[in-house]
Amino acid sequence: MIAYILRRIVYMVPTVFGVALLVFLIFAAVGEDPVRNALGPHATAESIADLRQQWGLDRPLPVQFLDFLRRIATLDLGESYNTGEKLTSIFARGAVVSLSLTVPPFVAGTLISIAAALLIAYLRGGWLDHLATAIFVASMSVSYLVYIIGFQYLFAFELDWFPISGFERGWASLPYLVLPWIIIVIVSIGPDIRVMRTVFLDEIKADYVRTALAKGAGEGTVLFKHVLKNAMIPILTQWVTAVPFLILGAFLMERFFSIPGIGDTLINAVHTGDRPILMSLTVLIAVAYSLFNLLTDILYAYVDPRVKLA
């Protein structure tokens, strides 16, 4: 196991290097000059030269790229061009907010989806199966934006049950998060239940299910005890690969509810041209995605003994 993990980490190095190189070249080749963007059109040549030197943009591109790699490797990501604040502080503060927004509905939606998909698979072919499938397909056809605006109008504006926007730190954030949580759960359970239902129905057709039923095991016991365990690999894939993006939060949710998470930080950086935030966050997402792919493979071996790590 240790050898496999070390080998996969070594394999990650070219991937992360390639992403970092691509991101660096894109920002070096396109986009506005960050120095002129920061100083404005009336800046003097002396002030432009001073700021270029301060930000290290006067050095050759290979030197800048090596410095970028060093910052990623040491997690010393530098400072924001707009505020001068260290990126590690910005990302840490935003990640806490984004995780508080996305993790509770992710867990709740997952549990609801598993329970509902198992029930629908148990009652497959009946009216409940057809009705649930129609409802979930209809819910998936509605835009995320429609849910946000509709729920804000009904529950925040008309009924005044929740704040329509804003955020506070600590437990005071709960009133601002409940409505976004509800929206995220409603939006996520439709696709999740459809995927899980398909996985469960595929497992029900397997030989071990027929054998267990032939030995006298109840269908409910086989479904909830054996089928669920054997269906965990595709479900784990869906879960673990989604985890890195939980840190980003829900972009639209953070924007429409004025929640200062990583997603909102990223959108603001796009609008203001804050290159260090955009470059660092892009590479860190690639690193997180690679690490969680490794975690997925490791979990496969624990969930299904037939999976061999090679």
CA distance 37 to 42: 11
Q: Are 278 and 27 in contact (CB under 8 A)?
A: yes
Q: 288 near 15, Cβ under 8 Å?
A: no
Could you tell me the CATH superfamily of domain 96-272+299-303? MetI-like (1.10.3720.10)
Query: Which 8-state DSSP code applies to residue 268?
Result: H
Whole-number Å distance between alpha carbons of 259 and 191:
25
Instruction: At 284, list the tokens.
Output: 């860190």
* Predicted local distance difference test score (pLDDT) of residue 111: 86
The CA distance from 48 to 36, in Å, is: 7
Q: Is 27 helix (H, G, I), strand (E, B) or coil?
A: helix
Q: How many CA atoms lie within 13 Å of 299's alpha carbon, on the beta-carbon side?
A: 18
- Amino acid 166: pLDDT: 75
Q: Where on the phi/psi map is residue 33: left (φ > 0), alpha (ψ -120 to 50), or beta? A: beta
pLDDT of the residue at 302: 66
Are 196 and 235 contacting, i.e. CB atoms less than 8 angstroms apart? yes
Over the chain (310 residues), what is each successive 10-residue block's mean pLDDT? 76 86 84 72 78 80 88 84 85 86 86 83 77 80 82 85 80 85 85 80 76 74 74 74 66 82 83 84 84 75 61
- How far is residue 169's CA from residue 254's CA, in Å, rounded to a whole number? 15
Report domain extents, the chain. Answer: 96-272+299-303
Can you give the pLDDT at residue 249? 60
Cα dist from 5 to 13, 37, 69, 263, whole Å: 13, 44, 22, 30
